[in-house]
């Protein structure tokens, strides 16, 4: 990997099955930007254990996520796709950054509040310092751009604050990263409750489209999507269900909301739902086909996991050693 280009870093948690929200909010933009940056796409498994996981299941999901990145079209020979747990620098830098992050800042994180309400029996310290590990992920690679959905913006802001604080003390150590939000799809809502984000962990399977759902399932879920009784297709906050369907349609087709509204003007909700369902199913079909093929390409995936972990590790070490030196740890004797 020759590094005169800018760096892109992003990741997804290896928990649950990826949803259309993950695809339209993040993965789609990763694909669009891949050619322009040196890219690190992380399978975020350290973060996953902030919620209790079945070990065998976590391992399986992490591998599945790795394969999904590839199936979506990210070439693992061009892009560094790797497991977070294979690069120890993430955890090491996170510890250091913990000492430059205030409790008050972490207390304000809305995801911490949401997750601790959801997992009231397991509000562990990892859940609280989760955003610091995320900051370490990003800063370890001297990242310029981080394509994410809207729900990660608060964590990105904190990352920038931590980096600026550290730089103010020790000089220019970290690149200050910028978030990248797509023009559309940055917040896809639940199909069953359009006031709520579509989420991997939603208990109602009809609320989310999963990337590996077959076409019939996709069409059925859209057919059941909660809308309203206005009987008019308009792009406005008062009709969150219809707005979400239009957002999904626009994110898949690249159209603007006005164009989509014009296209469906005078049509019924049923027609809109089936058009969106068809569009989504067509968009996901190539990814699903490639994913099935990849399940048989075990050696290839194994080789990519190994080579990319080495690449990521040697890249990460440069920043880690610099940071360790700056804070005053003794030099390593070889």
Q: Which of 7, 8, 26, 248 binds ligand TYM (CB under 6 A)?
A: 26
**Per CB under 6 A, does 198 bind ligand TYM?**
yes
**Per CB under 6 A, does 115 bind ligand TYM?**
no
Distance (Å, rounded) from C-alpha 26 to C-alpha 261? 24
Q: Which of 72, 134, 284, 320 binds ligand TYM (CB under 6 A)?
A: 134
**Per CB under 6 A, does 202 bind ligand TYM?**
no
Whether 304 contacts 77, CB under 8 Å: yes
197 an active-site residue?
yes
**Per CB under 6 A, does 86 bind ligand TYM?**
no
**Per CB under 6 A, does 151 bind ligand TYM?**
yes
Instruction: Measure Cα distances from 163 to 135, 167, 177 in Å.
Output: 8, 6, 9
**Per CB under 6 A, does 280 bind ligand TYM?**
no
Strand partners, 189: 197
**Per CB under 6 A, does 197 bind ligand TYM?**
yes
3-class secondary-structure state, position 202: coil
Whether 127 contacts 116, CB under 8 Å: yes
**Per CB under 6 A, does 186 bind ligand TYM?**
yes
Other Cβ atoms less than 10 A from the Cβ of 190: the count is: 23
Distance (Å, rounded) from C-alpha 15 to C-alpha 61? 7
What are the start-end ranges of the H helices in 73-199?
89-98, 103-107, 110-118, 125-139, 153-170
**Per CB under 6 A, does 12 bind ligand TYM?**
yes
200 an active-site residue?
yes
Q: Tell me the residue nearest to ligand TYM as measured from the CB.
A: 25
Interaction site with ligand TYM (CB under 6 A): 9-13, 21-22, 25-26, 44, 47, 134, 137-138, 146, 148-149, 151-152, 186-188, 197-198
Residues noted as catalytic: 115, 197, 200
């Amino acid at each position: 990997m020759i590094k005169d280009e800018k760096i892109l870093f992003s990741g997804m948690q290896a928990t649950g099955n990826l949803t259309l929200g993950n695809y339209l909010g993040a993965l789609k933009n990763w694909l669009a930007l891949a050619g322009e940056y040196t890219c690190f796409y992380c399978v975020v498994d350290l973060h996953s254990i902030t919620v209790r996981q079945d070990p065998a299941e976590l391992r399986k999901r992490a591998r599945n996520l790795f394969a999904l990145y590839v199936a979506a079209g990210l070439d693992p020979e061009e892009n560094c796709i790797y497991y977070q747990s294979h690069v120890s620098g993430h955890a090491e830098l996170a510890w250091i950054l913990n000492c430059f992050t205030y409790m008050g800042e972490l207390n304000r994180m809305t995801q911490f509040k949401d997750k601790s309400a959801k997992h009231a029996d397991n509000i562990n310290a990892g859940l609280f310092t989760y955003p610091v590990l995320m900051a370490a992920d990003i800063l370890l690679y001297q990242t310029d751009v981080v394509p994410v959905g809207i729900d990660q913006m608060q964590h990105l802001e904190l990352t920038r604050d931590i980096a600026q604080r550290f730089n103010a003390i020790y000089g220019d150590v970290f690149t200050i990263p910028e978030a990248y939000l797509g023009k559309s799809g940055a917040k896809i809502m639940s199909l069953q409750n359009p006031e709520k984000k579509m989420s991997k962990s939603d208990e109602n399977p009809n609320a989310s489209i999963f990337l590996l759902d077959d076409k019939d399932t996709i069409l059925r879920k859209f057919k059941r999507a909660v809308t309203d009784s206005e009987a008019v297709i308009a792009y406005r906050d008062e009709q969150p269900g219809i707005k979400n369907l239009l957002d999904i349609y626009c994110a898949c087709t690249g159209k603007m909301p006005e164009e989509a509204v014009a296209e469906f003007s005078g049509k019924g909700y049923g027609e809109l739902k089936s058009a969106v369902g068809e569009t989504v199913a067509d968009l996901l079909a190539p990814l699903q086909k490639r994913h099935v093929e990849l399940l048989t390409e075990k050696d290839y995936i194994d080789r990519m996991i190994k080579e990319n972990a080495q690449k990521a590790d040697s890249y990460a070490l440069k920043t880690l050693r610099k940071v360790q030196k700056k804070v005053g740890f003794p030099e390593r004797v070889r």
